[in-house]
Structure 1
Amino acid sequence: MAILILGIILFLGMHLIRVVAPDFRSRMVDKFGENGWKGIYSLLSIISLVVLIYGWAISPTINLWFPPTGMSHLTVTLMLLSMICLAAAELPAGHIATKTKHPMILGVKIWAFGHLLANGDLASLLLFGSFLAWGVILRIALKRRERAGLLTLRPFVSAKYDLIAVVIGAVIWALFIWKLHLWLIGVAPIPM
């Protein structure tokens, strides 16, 4: 469990650095250059993600509660919304991106909340609860930066990107339901 906690701290800590130390990125870019910093940040992110996944894999199953079977179905439904938000975050801004303001963060929060509903073990509580808390903290911090004029949101481009986000999100969601979740995570989202 300690390795899982370390992985969570490293991964989410790296992804909160812009919030707690907004000038840190610019100092690192000055020191290593844009591509150098992106390379270092990417490498550290991958290492922290590997630690997190390894910690998850070796954590003992300590059940805290037993969610009703229907929660997995609700989680599967929420994952469709999450995947659409994640897809919208990577496209030029449509209505989804402009209305949600930060679709990536919303997608992660939906993902974390949904998985908290369907999993009652300690490792799940730590992992998904941490990601949900990270999403809430980051969203609040970004809202404050926006109000202070330090952050400008992406302008609306076209509604066609909403349709593209829905299609891409639905395809990825269907792949996860079909086999991808089982192959990557080792658990079928809906036991067949």
Structure 2
Amino acid sequence: MGGWGEFIAAGLLFLASHAIPSMPQLKSGFVRVLGRRGWTLSFALLSTVLFFWLIFAAGRAPYVELWPQTAWARWLVNIAMPVAILLGSFGVAAPNPFAFEGRAMGFDPSRPGIAGLTRQPLLWAILIWSGAHLIANGDLAHVILFGGSGLFTLMGMRMIEARKRRLRGAEEWRRLVAHTGLVPGTALISGRWRPRGLPAALRLAIALAIWAALYHLHPVVIGVSPRP
């Protein structure tokens, strides 16, 4: 299977897999069989595999140019990616009860950490990644891939925020988010949050390693050099 057929199949399976968490009975069945940790790891692995398949399928789809690639757009990707990687590295497993990649334990509303910059760091990382790549890749398959990914991320952000607010209740939600922001930097600009202490050296090192790996492996894995 190849061409548009593979791309459509990969996209449909990716979307179908992400419908599972919104089906309580189906999800609870998986949790019963796999355990909560097993379900989380299995879903993360499935999502990753399907997402990479979707990326590769987009590269194999027929090339239909909507706008040409430009040097400045490739520079934009190279500037945006370190920002996205930093957000993801500081967001995963950080004390942050608002995001699916965070953990509730250890969160202090008066010192919210990464949630002070944004309550959804990983989703913003994905949005920055997809937005920058959308501008740089003007063929139809990649416009669908990156545009759809960005739209999917925005919808997911809205759904997560609404669900967390509903579960916490209005008063508790206001207390928890007092020194945080959804859009990156809004709490900093408004003065509701100030970073305290030095950035975690381990997370910075992880971000640097991920960026270096992605930059150097991009031509091998994706088949396209990220250099402008």
**TM-score, normalising length: structure 1:** 0.79
| Structure with higher helix content | 1
Say if 1:64 and 1:176 are closer, same or farther in 2 by CA, change over 3 A. Answer: same
* Aligned residue in 1 for 2:222: 185
> 8 Å contact 1:97–1:103 — kept in the other structure?
yes
Return the alpha-carbon distance in structure 2 between the equivalents of residues 150 and 30 of structure 1: 26
Amino acid at match of 2:213: L
Secondary structure of the residue aligned to 2:167 is coil
Deviation per CA, 1:17-76, whole angstroms, max 9, x where unpaired?
A: 33x435642342135533554565356435534642442242111111114320110111
Count of residues in Structure 1 that have an aligned counterpart in Structure 2: 188
Q: Percent identity?
A: 28
Return the alpha-carbon distance in structure 1 between the equivalents of residues 73 and 138 of structure 2: 11
* Aligned residue in 1 for 2:212: 174
1:8 matched to 2:46? The reply is: no
* Aligned residue in 1 for 2:63: 61
Q: How does 1:23-42 map to 2 (within 5 A)?
A: 24-34=26-36, 37-38=39-40, 41=43
> 8 Å contact 1:95–1:162 — kept in the other structure?
no
Amino acid at match of 1:103: P
Deviation per CA, 1:124-145, whole angstroms, max 9, x where unpaired?
A: 1111111101100100001111
Q: How does 1:64-103 map to 2 (within 5 A)?
A: 64-93=66-95, 95-103=113-121
Rg (Cα) greater in structure: 2
**TM-score, normalising length: structure 2:** 0.68
Greater relative CO (CA pairs within 8 A, separation 6+): 1
Return the alpha-carbon distance in structure 1 between the equivalents of residues 38 and 202 of structure 2: 33
Q: By how many angstroms is 1:188 displaced?
A: 0.7
Return the alpha-carbon distance in structure 1 between the equivalents of residues 203 and 141 of structure 2: 31
Return the alpha-carbon distance in structure 2 between the equivalents of residues 74 and 95 of structure 1: 27
Return the alpha-carbon distance in structure 2 between the equivalents of residues 134 and 185 of structure 1: 22
Say if 1:43 and 1:174 are closer, same or farther in 2 by CA, change over 3 A. Answer: closer
> 8 Å contact 1:82–1:106 — kept in the other structure?
yes
Amino acid at match of 1:34: R
> 8 Å contact 1:3–1:55 — kept in the other structure?
yes
Secondary structure of the residue aligned to 1:149 is helix
Say if 1:88 and 1:23 are closer, same or farther in 2 by CA, change over 3 A. Answer: farther
Amino acid at match of 1:83: I
Match of 1:139 among 139, 147, 157: 157
> 8 Å contact 1:11–1:48 — kept in the other structure?
yes
Return the alpha-carbon distance in structure 2 between the equivalents of residues 67 and 58 of structure 1: 18
Q: By how many angstroms is 1:161 displaced?
A: 5.2
Structure 2: stretches of 5+ with no match in the other structure: 96-111, 181-195
> 8 Å contact 2:134–2:142 — kept in the other structure?
yes
Deviation per CA, 1:73-107, whole angstroms, max 9, x where unpaired?
A: 01110111111111112242473344311211111
Return the alpha-carbon distance in structure 2 between the equivalents of residues 91 and 36 of structure 1: 16
Say if 1:182 and 1:69 are closer, same or farther in 2 by CA, change over 3 A. Answer: same
Say if 1:99 and 1:24 are closer, same or farther in 2 by CA, change over 3 A. Answer: farther
